[in-house]
Structure 1
Amino acid sequence: MNEVIKTLTNHRSFRQYLNTPVNKKELDAIIHAAQSGPSWIHGQQVSVIIVKDSARKKRLAELCGHQDHINQAPVFLIFCADFHRAKLASEIEGVSFEVADDADSLLVGAADVGIALANAIAAAESLGLGTVPIGGIRRSPLEVIEFLQLPKYVIPISGLCIGYGGNDPGLNPRLPKEAFYHEETYNENQMDMLQHYNETMAEHRNKTTNGKSDANWTERIAGFYSRSHYNNAYPDVPRMLQQQGFTCKDMKDES
């Protein structure tokens, strides 16, 4: 197994960090790796904002749901889907800017962010740093947009803590390969696999919490994605999209 695959398969999420800065050379390498990922039509629909100031990290930690690891990490990156440059390109070329009316633009932006984020994680971990992505950046997106001074057509998708891990949380067991990897067509028959995986996760959770919890995977996921929880956690995402210019109209209906 080569070193790249070792790094990728050894991922774990760190939520405690040492008070040790990330040096500029390492940070530049991480950003370069993130920017080097492929993107739709080479449109490069991603921007990354770095926050290192303690007071600003504290405010972002509050906006993300009071996640203290954002305070602890010396570097906090915010990955944004960015069509602001595409809008400027339209102005330079004197053509209309239609992409924000198309729902597919959100998939494009999110996919490009995901690729850049994955590259940043792999690069950071290859340098011996710890990371954890922060989806909570969308918890109070209107305030985040104002705080980061994001222009129209730019939306925050994910944060990323980077630093030297203060503890090793260990690897979380993954779903069986057969649930993740499908040959030729999708296999819907996953109930038995999930039941077995529940046992694995409950045992793992019991071990890592010293017996304080034995919650299984379906219990946690079903609870998170229940309508009441999810709607209450991220209520302003639709308003964020509208404010930032993403109308997502059905263009066929408009004709």
Structure 2
Amino acid sequence: MNETIRTIQNHRSIRSFLDKEIDDVIIDEILRAAQSMPNSINGQQSSVIVIKDKETKAKIAQLAGGQKWVEDAPVFLLFVLDFYKTNLAAEKNGLTQVIHESVEGTMAGTFDAGLSMGAAIIAAESLNLGIVPIGGVRKNPGEIIKLLNLPPYTYPAVGLAVGYPKDESHKKPRLPFSTFRHNEVYHTEEMKEAIDQYDMEMEDYLKEVGRQQEGNWSKYTSGIYQNVYYPDVYPTMKDQKFLNDK
């Protein structure tokens, strides 16, 4: 195993950061890694907003559901689904962009933003920084859009709090590898047994970290997935011209 793979496999989310700034040169190195990721048709339909201002971070922390680590991290990165740039390209050529109105466009752009964030995570962790992804930027997306002046054809996909770790958090166990790797076709056999096994492992982990009230993986996940937990995403996507009707 090489150092890159070791770094990836040692990932854990960090929610406690030192009061230590991150040099802009380091931030640029992380973002250049993110920008280097593959993307659909070379459309490059993602962007990143770098946020250091304490008041802005505090506001985002509140909008994301009271996630204090967003405020505490020296840098917050917002990964943006960005068809504004490609729309300008269409206008330059006298054409009308349609892709942003489709589910395919949303999927392609969101996946590209995810690839970029994955690279940013690996780059940051390789530099001994800690990170935690923040899906909560979609909890009050309209406010995030206004706060960060996002133009039409863009949307806040996910955030990333970045900083020097105050301490090393516990490494969260994953589902058995057999539920992730499927050979040739999707295999449903033994999936229930694998989930049962993982639930027992997660019960031990949650007790260890003082979160036993969550129960286990299946109880916690299914409890959340009974509802659309960020219901403002769909209407605000439409406001940003992502109609998702094609």
Name the counterpart of 1:146.
146
Between the aligned partners of 2:212 and 2:92, the Cα distance in structure 1 is 59
Shift of 1:212: 5.1
Deviation per residue, 1:84-118 (Å, 9 max, x gap): 01100000011121112221001001100110000
Could you list the runs of 5+ residues in structure 2 that have no partner in the other structure? none
SS of alignment partner, residue 241 of structure 1: helix
SS of alignment partner, residue 174 of structure 1: coil
Between the aligned partners of 2:241 and 2:214, the Cα distance in structure 1 is 44
Name the counterpart of 1:238.
234
CA RMSD of aligned residues (A): 1.1
The letter for the 2-side match of 1:179 is: T
Name the counterpart of 2:194.
193
Name the counterpart of 1:208.
209
Deviation per residue, 1:152-202 (Å, 9 max, x gap): 000001000000111211211111110000000001231000001100110
Shift of 1:248: 2.0
Name the counterpart of 1:95.
95
Residue-pair matches, total: 245
The letter for the 1-side match of 2:195 is: L
Between the aligned partners of 1:118 and 1:5, the Cα distance in structure 2 is 13
SS of alignment partner, residue 245 of structure 1: coil
The letter for the 1-side match of 2:238 is: Q
Between the aligned partners of 1:93 and 1:86, the Cα distance in structure 2 is 11
Between the aligned partners of 2:213 and 2:165, the Cα distance in structure 1 is 23
Moved over 4 A (4+): 211-214
SS of alignment partner, residue 132 of structure 1: strand
The letter for the 1-side match of 2:119 is: N
Name the counterpart of 2:173.
173
TM-score in terms of structure 1 length: 0.93
Name the counterpart of 2:128.
128
Could you list the runs of 5+ residues in structure 1 that have no partner in the other structure? 251-255
The letter for the 1-side match of 2:47 is: S
Between the aligned partners of 1:212 and 1:144, the Cα distance in structure 2 is 32
Task: Report if the CA contact (8 A) 2:141-2:232 is conserved.
Answer: yes
Between the aligned partners of 2:184 and 2:28, the Cα distance in structure 1 is 40
Shift of 1:13: 0.2
The letter for the 1-side match of 2:204 is: E
The letter for the 2-side match of 1:222 is: S
Relative to structure 1, the CA distance from residue 25 to residue 249 in structure 2 (aligned partners, 3 Å threshold; closer, same or farther) is same
Shift of 1:214: 6.6
**Residues 213-222 or 180-189, more deviating:** 213-222
Matched, 1:226 2:222: no
Identity %: 38
SS of alignment partner, residue 238 of structure 2: helix
Between the aligned partners of 1:136 and 1:214, the Cα distance in structure 2 is 19
Task: Report if the CA contact (8 A) 2:133-2:158 is conserved.
Answer: yes
